[in-house]
Structure 1
Amino acid sequence: MDMIEIDGQAGGGQLLRSALSLSLCTGIGFSMQRIRAQRSRPGLMRQHLTAVLAAAEIGRAYVDGAQLGAMSLRFEPGTVTAGEYRFATGTAGSTTLVLQTLLPALWRCATPSRLLLEGGTHNPMAPSADFIADTYLPSLRKLGVQASLRLQRHGFYPAGGGVLHADVAPSQLRSIVLNERGERVGVEGVALLSALAAGIGRRELAVLGERLGLGEDALKLEPVRAPVGPGNAVLVRVRHDAHEETFAGYGERGMLAERVAENVAAQAAAYLDSTAYASEHLADQLLLPMALAGGGEFTTTTISEHLSSNARLIEKFLPVEIDWQPLAPQLWRVSVSS
């Protein structure tokens, strides 16, 4: 079997997840060394391990090194098989990152798949379930991906306990251009609260209203039903004619509610100041599906380290070239060509 050697020192868990997705799609195995070596807690954490084991299960793969804390991993894919699967990350490990790892392989199957994912749905350092449902999947649908997500139960850090349901249908991807987001339709702020006082959310919404110029009708306080544990997320949804971006921040012990909201408002404001289609976080997540489609183009606000490292990894697996050029302040064009 063809094998690719990957140094995981400079990248985080995204390099591993992208390598797993690409390996399943191409049939090329890989060996990764020094996984997350520069992180404060290096090696495989629970959500990374769940992604590895899930990829191995749907792809009938041989894996060596799949254990917590492992700094090296060997992955040899077999045949990807559609079906019904259940994967649990344990505690608040991200369910959305596991989903993003599996999606590309499953949409290439000839029959549909259904996933039940248990763990964290809203936690730091991972896309929220709202971002996946409202921003990521709608963008993928423009490329031809047929997939949907339903949130059954919220899972906040550190308790977890969330439940997601995903359906993936056979899909034929096409090369597209995502450079324009259209006219602004509206901006909405939401404070999610799980087993916490409503006053926390009201303080967060007051900051969003002031920073983003939102009236009361655009601010929503949403208590989480049947809370598993305490948790808080602040969401800002920015809607344009052709695209919606979702920004999220999370309450932490010792962090003022106002600071949480300020951070999210700053992310949304930076995006609104640009004319780009994709936010920083969506940009690096569009690269892999566009590369699998054989090409494409989009604009984004900035070129992050995640995007550049992900681009170089994709080029190891697929016969594509990924490039980017500045067009204006806070505006870059990213192109994928075969």
Structure 2
Amino acid sequence: MIEIDGSQGEGGGQILRSSLSLAICTQQPFRIVNIRANRDKPGLLRQHLTAVKAAAEICDAVVVGDEIGSRELTFKPGRLKGGSYSFAIGTAGSSTLVLQTVLPPLLTAAEESVVRITGGTHNRGSPPFDFLQRAFLPLVARMGARVELELRRYGFYPRGGGEIVARITPSALSELTLTERGEQVGAYAEAYVAALPIHIGQRELEVIGKRLHWSQDQLFIRGLSNDMGPGNAVTITVEHANVTEVFTGFGERGVRSEDVASGAVDEARGYLGSEAAVGEHLADQLLLPMALGQGGSFTTSVVTEHLRSNATIIETFMPKRVLVSESGGAFVVRVS
């Protein structure tokens, strides 16, 4: 049985999620201790427990330690099966992170799957729906994956109540080579506002327009139904010939709209000022599909602890190597 220390590297939930995905794909059981040891509230929170239960359901796994607050877990995968699944987090926990746990194995199942997840869709510290749909899934599709993703309802912290549905067709993944982003072909920003004053989004877009020198026709207010709120998020989408990146700021009680927007702008400007093809979050999340496929390489502007932790888990479960080198002001990440 593979033994994993959840306090290594970034010490968060990603170590657990990647372990669940890879355990199912490689049919290897594992035991993890010190789950989320580096977080303010260590152990399994609702969204992590939902990811565990979702992973267990798609492969009839035997699990020990699957309860709120647990810091140790044993997971013994059974036979993977596609089908129709519905997972409810019950809080505003990230539905996208639950999806990213079951997506890699379900791409290798014998039959198609439809996965419905309710919870948060735009959560601080998690990839929002827009990021998955515009940045991550198009690159996985380039590798050969056939995934359709639908947002049926927005969900913000603390209420949640969002809903996403994914239709996953079994697919073999080819090599991905992404070393240049190519010419910029589009750029726009959106401010989502639900059950809050509309001027919150307007102030966010004003900051983005001024700091990125964008025109008014690149800035969009997305007013949502009051029953989806209260909630606010702002996204900056930058489209290049070879890749699309999405940068997000999440509204929080007590945080000025201008500061929410500035955080997203800072991340976008950091990416645009580099020579890298992908930003730090996309870099981290491409590793698993590349390892499960035919590998490949990409350039990124930042090598985070999330990426290094993900690389370690991949090398623990698989005879693959994740190599990082520096070249021309960017980092080259190779999976082979």
TM-score range, shorter chain: over 0.9
Equivalent position of 2:3 in the other structure: 5
Equivalent position of 1:145 in the other structure: 145
Output the CA distance in 2 between the equivalents of 1:98 and 1:290.
19
| Kept after mapping to 1: 8 A contact 2:196/2:229 | no
| Kept after mapping to 2: 8 A contact 1:123/1:250 | yes
Equivalent position of 1:237 in the other structure: 237
Alignment RMSD: 0.8
Q: What is the CA deviation profile of residues 81-129 of structure 1, one whole-angstrom value per residue up to 9, with x for unaligned ones? A: 1000000111101000000000011110121100111000001010000
Equivalent position of 1:335 in the other structure: 334
Question: Which amino acid counterpart does residue 290 of structure 1 have in structure 2?
Answer: M
Equivalent position of 2:267 in the other structure: 267
Output the CA distance in 2 between the equivalents of 1:227 and 1:275.
42
Deviation (angstroms), 1:180: 1.6
Q: What is the CA deviation profile of residues 214-247 of structure 1, one whole-angstrom value per residue up to 9, with x for unaligned ones? A: 1000000001135332000010000101111111
Give the share of equivalent positions with the same residue, in percent.
50
Question: Which amino acid counterpart does residue 244 of structure 1 have in structure 2?
Answer: T
Question: Which amino acid counterpart does residue 6 of structure 1 have in structure 2?
Answer: I
What TM-score, normalized to structure 1?
A: 0.97
Written as runs of structure 1 = structure 2, the 5 A alignment for 1:145-164 is 145-164=145-164
SS at 2:227 equivalent: coil
Question: Which amino acid counterpart does residue 135 of structure 1 have in structure 2?
Answer: A
| Kept after mapping to 1: 8 A contact 2:81/2:110 | no
Q: What is the CA deviation profile of residues 192-214 of structure 1, one whole-angstrom value per residue up to 9, with x for unaligned ones? A: 00101111111000000011111
| 1:188 counterpart = 2:188 | yes
Equivalent position of 1:99 in the other structure: 99
Written as runs of structure 1 = structure 2, the 5 A alignment for 1:1-338 is 3-10=1-8, 11-225=11-225, 227-329=227-329, 331-337=330-336
Deviation (angstroms), 1:178: 1.1
| Kept after mapping to 2: 8 A contact 1:294/1:320 | no
Please, which runs of 5 or more residues in structure 1 have no aligned partner? none
Output the CA distance in 1 between the equivalents of 2:61 and 2:108.
17
Question: Which amino acid counterpart does residue 242 of structure 1 have in structure 2?
Answer: N
What TM-score, normalized to structure 2?
A: 0.98
Output the CA distance in 2 between the equivalents of 1:145 and 1:13.
25
Question: Which amino acid counterpart does residue 108 of structure 2 have in structure 1?
Answer: R
Question: Which amino acid counterpart does residue 39 of structure 1 have in structure 2?
Answer: R
Extract structure 1 runs of 4+ deviating beyond 4 A. Answer: none
Q: Which moved more, 1:25-34 or 1:292-301?
A: 292-301
Question: Which amino acid counterpart does residue 44 of structure 1 have in structure 2?
Answer: L
The count of residues paired between Structure 1 and Structure 2 equals: 334
Output the CA distance in 2 between the equivalents of 1:294 and 1:107.
14
Output the CA distance in 1 between the equivalents of 2:201 and 2:294.
44
Question: Which amino acid counterpart does residue 335 of structure 1 have in structure 2?
Answer: R
Please, which runs of 5 or more residues in structure 2 have no aligned partner? none
Output the CA distance in 2 between the equivalents of 1:172 and 1:313.
22
Q: Which moved more, 1:13-22 or 1:186-195?
A: 186-195
SS at 2:228 equivalent: coil
